[in-house]
Structure 1
């Protein structure tokens, strides 16, 4: 490995560490949904708001992200984002009420723009032949963060059940969910410090007319023999479009005929990346596994498998993205995702639910079952009808608070198909549309519109993501598990059809070559 390759990898790894923080922030909430629902007595809408509030925060921030990245530079904007993660993590862990928890997580959502800024920065410093791997490092960091979050949630939950004095002294047994959310604080602080060691993007420096500084940074990234040619290409690309690189003029250029093809592809992938339901599955994983009848402890532990599968699938994508190309990964991944999601929908549709005398005796250890005697021997053919009967007999709060254990004893379904389907879907997503979307964002758009285009596409993905997260608890109440997974499966099939038709191959091409290729179509 040359010093130039090492420099590019080091800078990309530091910026991609923000993806690790994002993964932690996003997935830690999965372990506390049940606790905060009971502590703050939340409705389905309120649960969705707590989980989805970062998605609303990022909607607001993305309107400013492009402006700040353009005016302050990529580096300073990333440093602001990292600081927001720290403040949000502390505020979430100490939140005294539902409203303050939502506000703290909304603040963390402002920092979710790190994904689009990281993609932008890494795409601008990476050599063409390694850009796919380096940009996909951001996705690898995300899934490692997700894995660390699931493992942390399970570890904190396990510690909270230990009958030890120091556990009680630190209130881990009584304030378990606060400790789970507090896991993020230290990594966020580390990222703030690491960002001081990266240079500014050379392509942004060229846009600002700071040519000497751009050459000094580029000299760290490419050999002397290639420096003049690389700088010439950057200058030519930055000169395209309006000479005035304001946000308004970048928006005008974004809808110009030469950029239109790139815009259509990016919007399609940004929309469908979220409608397949990845964030619902990842952020509500324990709730989904409880619907299968696993119980709380097993549901939390299965989150660890989700993290492990995510890491392995993303590592495979990282190894293959610059060999097989972006298009092949997308097509293979969406085929597997569609089959997996529709298999889950079928398995849930075949499930039945019922309480016997034996199961009622076992449930008596957890709650008063006298009200459930009327349900003994009755078989329900859907989770919706079973939940409705539980609410009628126990009342909404008792039924909700004990849903995990009730499903554990009452559910009768092909759990293997569902568990395998969920894990296969996650593997397919992390192998394909997960990392490939950010790689494409870093490649498709010319330099003169990137500070608007990439945050704008992240905005599209974030709007859809926020809706998916907000609606999942409500969909679960209205459509049942089968209906929810069916809609996600249909979305994966539509994504496959559209992207197979629209998406060209971009591997091994410079940003400038991709610009010319798409402008010609």
Structure 2
């Protein structure tokens, strides 16, 4: 082995040569620590050399990194659990109403009020929760949402009369509204840019899973008229949500906005993005400091109404109203009543509801798989076309035929087509788009204010639908078809594009005409590499 001196003057072996080292050459000093008593030092192995760190942050090797979950998807799924309760509480009332109206002897007006009382509470909850989430954090408001759901679920099981039921449903609506305002914001802010649409749409997946779960519970309990159990079982997942949300990370954006940079870094590590945490934090901080953040409702309203933000505001408000006027929630809430009106029996209508709920879940999964591959606007307009066709065909068939088995089955098919197209397009997009349209410093408050209008529209449509269905089912379906056409025109000409790789908080991209088919410009200029929301 051949030897050569190193920088310290000691000779080191050269690989590939076997000439022994001459005894006259000095040997490197033995820097090993002294051996324990009773052991010969020659039997202890030399310590492994420390390799130099190359382009790595030593903080990523801290014990915090070992607490990172292997599957951040578990964080996203649990963060969206409040939406399961949202879906369950809004879906179960349609099945329970078949038993409630028999036991309590109520007409169409009170039926609509029992359903819409939850929506009225949601209109209050969604406005308050958005402001509270900006002040106290997204995570703790989701915790409070679980507590409200649990209290309402336990209380509704002991409702003594119709008015007690209405009051308790109003309280549960506070949780529904808070879920609608905060969960989508939480998911959008913890998601990486390349998967933001799919992860933000997980909330809608949990909604439709909750609806399907409510249909299954209703199918099992409806023969016993156990409507109190149907409504009260929502307390179980609510308690699970309240206990588990404590262990989830707060969103990095909210932490950066409140000057808690170290916690934001730890949050990114827990979300599986520790390798680029410092780069991402720097980009987030630079993006969020571009606006002069000031708390308060007045600042939120001024920011929403600023000249550069008006297109985003019009797009968010229009989308929040149109998603209710297309009739999807009226179809969902009153699906058993609609099917009974079309010719099904009570048990057959509840069983058919399971088919509607299954289609809703399947096509929500389809929507999640494509939402980040195509633009949000293209997806929404495709949904408008299919929904308008389904409602127009159903209206014409209902107007030209009498009640029969064929009418009942055709109504069910058209409802499934309508809800499947909604689930794959509008269902996975609407609340994600509304959250994406506003800058981070007002995102929670602005989303909450816009969704107040959404729930008020939901209240108005749900309150009037039972009476309209009794008077003319065909007219109600034609009205929904017309609104779908209006929605397509609105999306084409007013709504900004927020998909196709747009980075969250890159506000100029949504305040300008960024549809390359219309303006001839590329959206790539609005994407800043290195920012994973």
**TM bin (shorter chain):** 0.7 to 0.9
Distance (Å, rounded) in 2 between the aligned partners of 1:56 and 1:343:
32
Please tell me whether residue 117 in structure 1 is matched to residue 167 in structure 2.
Answer: no
Distance (Å, rounded) in 2 between the aligned partners of 1:184 and 1:105:
12
The structure where helix makes up a greater share of residues is 1
2:191 counterpart residue number: 126
Of the three residues 117, 134, 143, the one matched with 1:79 is: 143
Distance (Å, rounded) in 1 between the aligned partners of 2:369 and 2:68:
20
Please give the per-residue CA displacement for 1:134-163, whole angstroms capped at 9, x wherever unaligned: 0111100110110111111011124x3xxx
2:73 counterpart residue number: 9
Native 8 Å contact 1:343 1:417 kept in 2: no
Native 8 Å contact 1:275 1:464 kept in 2: yes
* 1:407-422 correspondence to structure 2 within 5 Å: 411=404, 414-422=407-415
Of the three residues 118, 122, 131, the one matched with 1:67 is: 131
User: Deviation of residue 187 (structure 1)?
Assistant: 1.5
1:246 counterpart residue number: 296
Q: 3-state SS of the aligned residue for 2:249?
A: coil
1:110–1:16 CA distance, 2 compared to 1 (3 A): same
Distance (Å, rounded) in 1 between the aligned partners of 2:152 and 2:327:
25
Select between 207-216 and 428-437 the one with higher mean Cα deviation: 207-216
Distance (Å, rounded) in 2 between the aligned partners of 1:82 and 1:154:
25
User: Deviation of residue 322 (structure 1)?
Assistant: 1.0
* 1:57-456 correspondence to structure 2 within 5 Å: 57-112=121-176, 113-158=178-223, 160=224, 176-221=226-271, 223-352=273-402, 411=404, 414-456=407-449
Please tell me whether residue 484 in structure 1 is matched to residue 484 in structure 2.
Answer: no
TM-score w.r.t. structure 2 length?
0.80
User: Deviation of residue 7 (structure 1)?
Assistant: 5.1
User: Deviation of residue 436 (structure 1)?
Assistant: 0.4
1:91–1:488 CA distance, 2 compared to 1 (3 A): same
1:496 counterpart residue number: 488
User: Unaligned 5+ residue runs, structure 1?
Assistant: 161-174, 354-410
1:496–1:471 CA distance, 2 compared to 1 (3 A): same
Please give the per-residue CA displacement for 1:168-192, whole angstroms capped at 9, x wherever unaligned: xxxxxxx511122123121111111
User: Deviation of residue 72 (structure 1)?
Assistant: 1.4
Q: 3-state SS of the aligned residue for 2:147?
A: helix
Distance (Å, rounded) in 2 between the aligned partners of 1:5 and 1:517:
33
User: Deviation of residue 505 (structure 1)?
Assistant: 5.0
User: Unaligned 5+ residue runs, structure 2?
Assistant: 1-65, 514-533
Q: 3-state SS of the aligned residue for 1:511?
A: coil
Distance (Å, rounded) in 2 between the aligned partners of 1:6 and 1:274:
39
User: Deviation of residue 344 (structure 1)?
Assistant: 1.0
User: Deviation of residue 224 (structure 1)?
Assistant: 4.4
Please give the per-residue CA displacement for 1:386-408, whole angstroms capped at 9, x wherever unaligned: xxxxxxxxxxxxxxxxxxxxxxx
Distance (Å, rounded) in 1 between the aligned partners of 2:127 and 2:102:
35
Question: Max radius of gyration: which structure?
Answer: 2
Native 8 Å contact 1:150 1:304 kept in 2: yes
1:227–1:290 CA distance, 2 compared to 1 (3 A): same
* 1:38-57 correspondence to structure 2 within 5 Å: 38-57=102-121
User: Deviation of residue 73 (structure 1)?
Assistant: 1.0
User: Deviation of residue 4 (structure 1)?
Assistant: 7.4
Select between 10-19 and 122-131 the one with higher mean Cα deviation: 10-19
Native 8 Å contact 1:8 1:125 kept in 2: no
Q: 3-state SS of the aligned residue for 2:155?
A: helix
Distance (Å, rounded) in 2 between the aligned partners of 1:324 and 1:196:
35
Select between 191-200 and 241-250 the one with higher mean Cα deviation: 241-250
User: Deviation of residue 412 (structure 1)?
Assistant: 6.9
Q: 3-state SS of the aligned residue for 2:250?
A: coil
1:511 counterpart residue number: 504
Select between 450-459 and 211-220 the one with higher mean Cα deviation: 211-220
Distance (Å, rounded) in 2 between the aligned partners of 1:126 and 1:228:
17
Distance (Å, rounded) in 1 between the aligned partners of 2:124 and 2:70:
36
Native 8 Å contact 1:4 1:223 kept in 2: no
1:399 counterpart residue number: none
Aligned-residue RMSD, C-alpha: 1.9
Please give the per-residue CA displacement for 1:347-373, whole angstroms capped at 9, x wherever unaligned: 1101235xxxxxxxxxxxxxxxxxxxx
For these two proteins, the number of residue pairs brought into alignment is 446
1:360 counterpart residue number: none
Distance (Å, rounded) in 2 between the aligned partners of 1:310 and 1:511:
28
1:21 counterpart residue number: 85
Distance (Å, rounded) in 2 between the aligned partners of 1:63 and 1:134:
23
Distance (Å, rounded) in 1 between the aligned partners of 2:274 and 2:157:
50
TM-score w.r.t. structure 1 length?
0.82
1:32–1:222 CA distance, 2 compared to 1 (3 A): closer
User: Deviation of residue 472 (structure 1)?
Assistant: 0.9
Distance (Å, rounded) in 1 between the aligned partners of 2:396 and 2:491:
26
User: Deviation of residue 5 (structure 1)?
Assistant: 8.9
1:3–1:216 CA distance, 2 compared to 1 (3 A): closer
Distance (Å, rounded) in 1 between the aligned partners of 2:405 and 2:210:
34
